Homo-oligomer: A and B are copies of this chain.
Amino acid sequence: MKKLVNDPKNVVNEAVAGFGAAHADLVRVSADPIFIVRKDAPVAGKVGIVSGGGSGHEPMHGGFVGPGMLDAAVPGPVFTSPTPDPILAATKAVDGGAGVLHIVKNYTGDVLNFETAADLAAADGVEVRSVLVNDDVAVKDSLYTAGRRGVAGTVLVEKIAGAAADRGDDLESVALVAERVIGQVRSMGVALTPCVVPHAGQPSFTLAEDEIEIGIGIHGEPGRERIKLEPADAIVDRLLGPILDDIPFVAGDKVLLLVNGMGGTPQVELYIVFRRAAEVLAERGIEVTRTLVGNFTTSLEMQGMSITVLKLDDELTTLWDAPVQTAALRWGR
């Protein structure tokens, strides 16, 4: 394992310190407990939005803190949910009196720790609502599992909920719009190479020189199947099929298409993927009206990508287009 780190135990706190130094115009960071809030938090009268989870998915979530998106991000250890105390501290730090929305990816650890933090915040008089993101169609959603995992669709939920809070929606309304995005967004990913958790020092899984994992999770969890490497277009088709069939997306739909890099894949490849995905959607009569391409929800240095499709309507489109000013997503100001 070769990494640009010092003591593996200090990866998260050193990175968060660096993030705070690099983006002092946008954020403040707390070192203990570790969390990141927008510089002007709390914003009086605005619903606060907090997300978080294990580290290693950067720019998610710290890169999305700022006007028009998150008020706070709570990074746990690499691939491990934060405990309730930093979540509680971040929640209190961004409560401007209008309550706080927790955006939680659907993993048991994240769910339980955010739940506890929400209980404690409520006990301290902060109104908290939570939404669970579960966009990964690689995992069957059924009563008999922990449910679908939350992956790159989280970015879209955070942007749109952030815009709703920014325009002055109340907590209930912000939560509803977040739920609406969650209901209309689906994703699926592929890994070409594994990732290496710094303190583990070993690849999280192994793939042969000609193998790829279809339906990979963002912590390297197994997916649907392990197959031989195929041309990019064939891989895109494998991912888009289950995504489009799930809701389903149908001819006439307007959608946002996100091609998300897993961290170690060059941009040329992401655009080759985008090209094919846009082609398939066009063939199906689905209109791509908004796009996003890049590393947003990563899995350390994993090579691979995920495709996310969000069904848009006029309101979601307006909220997507609204100004956002964060380290990783910025437009309109």
Contact = CB atoms under 8 A, between A and B. Distances in A.
In which size bucket is the chain A interface? 35 or more
B298 A267 contact: yes
Main SS at interface, chain A: mixed
B330 A14 contact: no
A274 B56 contact: no
Contacts of A231: 5-7
Interface string A1-42: 011111100011011111101110000000000000000000
A233 interface: yes
A291 B58 contact: no
B23 A291 contact: yes
B23 A55 contact: no
Given A55-B268, A58-B268, A332-B333, A209 B14 contact: no
Contacts of A193: 2
Copies in the complex: 2
A22 to B, nearest CB: 5
Given A5-B232, A229-B2, A266 B300 contact: yes
Nearest to A59: B267
Interface string A180-209: 000000000000110000000000000001
Given A266-B263, A266-B301, A333-B332, A271 B19 contact: yes
Contacts of A268: 11-12, 15, 55-56, 58, 78, 300
A275 B21 contact: yes
Contacts of A327: 293
A22 B63 contact: no
Given A22-B293, A291-B22, A14 B275 contact: yes
A197 to B, nearest CB: 11
B3 A269 contact: yes
Contact of A266 (B56, B330, B332): B56
Interface of A: 2-7, 11-12, 14-19, 21-23, 55-56, 58-59, 63, 78, 192-193, 209-210, 212, 229, 231-233, 235, 259, 263-276, 278, 288, 291, 293, 295, 298, 300-301, 303-305, 325, 327, 330-333
